[in-house]
Structure 1
Amino acid sequence: MDRYIINGGNKLNGIVRVDGAKNAILPILASVALTDKQVILHDCPQLSDVNDMLSILKSMGCKIKREGHTIILDPSGINEWRIPDYYVKKIRSSIVILGAVLGRMGKSGITYPGGCEIGQRPIDLHLKGLRKLGVEIDDSYGYLNCTVDTLRGADIHLDYPSVGATENIMLAASKAKGTTVIRNAAKEPEIVDLQDFINAMGGRIGGAGTDTVVIEGVKAFKPVEYRVIPDRIATGTFMVAAAITGGDVFIDNVIESHVQSIIYKLRETGCGVLLQDNGIRVKSIPELKAIDHTKTLPYPGFPSDMQAPLMAMLTRCNGTSIVTENIFENRYKHVPELKKMGANIRVESNTAIIQGVDMLMGARMEATDLRGGAALVIAALDAQGASEIGNINHIDRGYEGLECKLKGLGAKIERIKG
């Protein structure tokens, strides 16, 4: 597998543009299965997860043409309701295609999804919501066989504001008869983007971004051309990378309201964060201050996806910082790798106590998941000496050409083919 060689110690300076959001494009691509009309998507990141979702659509009969960051899809030929196990086991977000396929064909077969091993991510809320819409589900032997004669609107209360469950129900309910109400829905910006995309196709959804989403089912959709929102997690990753290296970076293509919780955390360290047209400038200071306590929470709280990148920065902040992971129980796999660099981190249950150190030293490390891998890159950018990071295929799942973007900011980073 490919690996990174990073020689740390260079301040990041310059301009970097953020691509479309991974966590927005995946459910949008899944929703393409709802329609038989042409879909044109702009600002689509070139990521392995996106390629896998496109492969799923292609296996179902969708015709796909890619031109740089634009994808042109012709879903008129979709006629396969079974989702290939190979891709489903690679990409967890594939589960949301279940609702779309049910909305189109009234049946679907899919195995339990895979993805990064960051903890249990049960899909019981997905299945409970679909059953409320009238779907019959046989989940014997780790495989989901789903059928429905007629999807019917329902009043659904989620026990937890699950992003995936909210998306899956939205997709299926878009073709259901009557009105569906999702209560305690996830509020993430990606939910709003999915609503806006479906509405651009002729759907009737309201309330995304609040805890109550209302879906009026429609019979058919129209052709659509749409631009995906920028990636707030990639934005946050470049923000903390600029901060830890003492850099001065302008991050272009940013929706400021989507990254407010990250902005607040960086300002707590004393780092300068300036809001400018369509972007954010991060100007670091010589000595960053520790952050008292960061707790990951559903949006608009601090995102779990930013926990590991933030922790990498905190290893170099003056004083003691505390981080509590409330979303995933197994999301500290990056901690032993950061310790190889000299980081002072102690984990107690779901809380990490980080004592800032004067210097990190280059080390040989392995990325164990997407965001943990990004954290290792961030730490290596500031470390003295050379670092080697293996298994960077994890990083490729969520960051397009990360090494190229960092090189453009002055980092010494090379991708070595495995």
Structure 2
Amino acid sequence: MTGLSQGIAAGPGVHEVTVEGGVPLSGEVRVPGFKHALVTVVAAAVLARAPVTIDNCPDIEEARVLAALLGVLGGRVERRDRSMTLDLADLADKPLDPALVGRIHGALYLIPGLLARFGQVHMPAAGGCPIGDEPGGGRPVGQYVGVLERFGATATAGPDGSLTLRADRLTACDLDLRDFTADRTLRSGPLYSGATKTAVLAAAAAHGTSRLRCPYPKADVTELVRVLQELGYDAAYDPHGDLLIEGRPDGGHGRPVRHALVSDLITVVTWATAAALTGGTVRLTGLTLDRLPAGLAPETAVGRAMGLRWAVDGPDALLLLPDPPRRSVDVAVVSHGIFSDSGPFLTLAATLAPGTSFIRETVWQRRFAFAPQLNRLGTEIRVTGSQARITGGRPPRIPGQDLVAGDLRAAAALLLASLAVPGPVRLRGVEHLARGYEDLTGELRRSGARIHSTD
């Protein structure tokens, strides 16, 4: 292993920063590939018997940990510039390191490929952001088990959150993914995305042709389907939106594949919010403008409704303009629409708009757990059940506060909020940023933000 997987034991280094806000941002930022698509494309490479090169690969915690896990299993993983090449033809059936698996959530998507190769997998308890409904914010794993059982696997859950799965072979099935939603009509909930990704991977490894009805439709799944097609799998959507996949237990056509990830959609939302909060102008580059507009269509609609402005500025760039939100919104975050990851940023932007905004969360019920911390900066956000009521015209403005972030997007939202405060704010929990951003604090500094490590 080289590049990406080296130094994995070091982990995130910065836990606390002090922000001196009140400075408009100005600069150019390159946006890497989409975190959520990365984990599924890596999982697809486990199915393959040929090298897979991922271009536009983000240098984030998920990538480093997945590379290390696969390296331990005998895979050859190489990082050069912004690409990662995985040659996993000679993977061996070895134990997965619980310490590594416990650092990310995405390790769970390795299960279908490993199960197809070895007939058994023991997956230690996975980590990730504590935004689930389980005690302590634990995230559910039953959807992965439920899907794989439909393909013929048997599973046992350990008291420590680990999973042991066995299957002599995976067999194609007809699966309605609405069975894994909290609301079949709304088609939303915390299980839907993970169930769909697992089903797509299992169907590719199974014997026979599977029909996946009403699959989760977002970019992390469409990127996975695209990569499977490039690997030689017959995978296509029918006119009803169902996904038909003919399994290839042989691992595809066996020829090397190179795939450029779609740009990270949530990074774009993050910087759009930062520009609006600080009254700055930021140019985003390296964008996959062939796929980005479709992936961000729901967020784009909300941004337009608020009055935010941006412009295409070249073949791979957007110019984020310094206009603050001018109108309130009433929106629902749903699995087939606005990303749950975008919710904290929309909430933050709504504090600048006149009037009262309402944002309803239907995926992760703990997504608004950061609101009390944000209110310490002077915002007025009232959370009732799964809905946030945001009083406009009350942006972050009270300095001298000590804040604590409990998850990735909370850390990013609180960091951006601190940029709007005319004075010092101390923020702990910034280590969570490593799971979704290459170097958010560094990029903000280079764009004019005054951020100092206090570790």
Percent identical: 26
| Cα contact 2:44–2:201 (8 A) shared by 1 | yes
Q: Does 1:220 align with 2:262?
A: no
Q: Does 1:168 align with 2:204?
A: no
**Among residues 136, 147, 159, which one is paired with 1:129 in the alignment?**
147
CA shift, 1:177, in A, is 1.1
Letter in 1 for 2:128: G
CA distance in 2 between partners of 1:208 and 1:377 (Å): 43
| Cα contact 1:310–1:375 (8 A) shared by 2 | no
Letter in 1 for 2:223: D
Q: Which residue of 1 aligns with 2:9?
A: none
| 1:318-357 aligned within 5 A | 318-356=354-392, 357=394
CA distance in 1 between partners of 2:334 and 2:169 (Å): 36
TM-score, scaled relative to structure 1: 0.93
TM-score, scaled relative to structure 2: 0.86
**Among residues 88, 106, 120, which one is paired with 1:107 in the alignment?**
120
Q: Does 1:178 align with 2:208?
A: yes
| Partner SS state of residue 53, structure 2 | strand
- Decide which moves more: 188-197 or 2-11: 2-11
CA distance in 2 between partners of 1:383 and 1:143 (Å): 43
CA distance in 2 between partners of 1:58 and 1:35 (Å): 16
Q: 1:321 to 1:375 in 2, by over 3 A?
A: same
CA distance in 2 between partners of 1:91 and 1:102 (Å): 20
Q: 1:152 to 1:9 in 2, by over 3 A?
A: same
Q: Which residue of 2 aligns with 1:13?
A: 26
- Decide which moves more: 201-210 or 48-57: 201-210
| Cα contact 2:396–2:418 (8 A) shared by 1 | no
Render the CA deviation track for 1:210-247: whole Å, top value 9, x for unaligned. 84111111123322122111100111111111111112
| 1:128-277 aligned within 5 A | 128-141=146-159, 142-158=161-177, 159=179, 160=181, 162-207=192-237, 211-218=241-248, 219-221=250-252, 222=254, 223-252=256-285, 253-254=287-288, 255-276=292-313, 277=315
Letter in 2 for 1:132: R
CA shift, 1:377, in A, is 1.3
CA distance in 2 between partners of 1:46 and 1:389 (Å): 23
CA distance in 1 between partners of 2:295 and 2:72 (Å): 34
| Partner SS state of residue 374, structure 2 | helix
Q: Which residue of 2 aligns with 1:86?
A: 99
Q: Does 1:390 align with 2:428?
A: yes
CA shift, 1:395, in A, is 1.1
CA shift, 1:44, in A, is 0.8
| Cα contact 1:10–1:382 (8 A) shared by 2 | yes
Matched pairs, number: 415
| Cα contact 1:118–1:328 (8 A) shared by 2 | yes
| Partner SS state of residue 102, structure 2 | helix
- Decide which moves more: 226-235 or 8-17: 8-17
| Cα contact 1:183–1:212 (8 A) shared by 2 | yes
CA shift, 1:60, in A, is 1.6
**Structure 1 unpaired stretches of 5+:** none
Render the CA deviation track for 1:279-324: whole Å, top value 9, x for unaligned. 3322233x5334231211113x111101112212222222221111
CA distance in 2 between partners of 1:68 and 1:391 (Å): 29
Q: 1:220 to 1:350 in 2, by over 3 A?
A: closer
| Cα contact 1:4–1:388 (8 A) shared by 2 | yes
Over the residues paired in the alignment, what is the CA RMSD in angstroms? 2.0
CA shift, 1:209, in A, is 11
Letter in 1 for 2:251: A
CA shift, 1:68, in A, is 2.6
Render the CA deviation track for 1:376-413: whole Å, top value 9, x for unaligned. 11111111112221121111110111122223322222
CA distance in 2 between partners of 1:318 and 1:127 (Å): 46
Q: Does 1:311 align with 2:347?
A: yes
Q: Which residue of 1 aligns with 2:438?
A: 400
CA shift, 1:22, in A, is 0.6
| Cα contact 2:61–2:104 (8 A) shared by 1 | no
- Decide which moves more: 150-159 or 210-219: 210-219
| Partner SS state of residue 405, structure 1 | helix
CA distance in 2 between partners of 1:48 and 1:288 (Å): 33
Q: Which residue of 2 aligns with 1:116?
A: 129
| Partner SS state of residue 296, structure 2 | helix
CA shift, 1:14, in A, is 3.2
Q: 1:208 to 1:93 in 2, by over 3 A?
A: farther
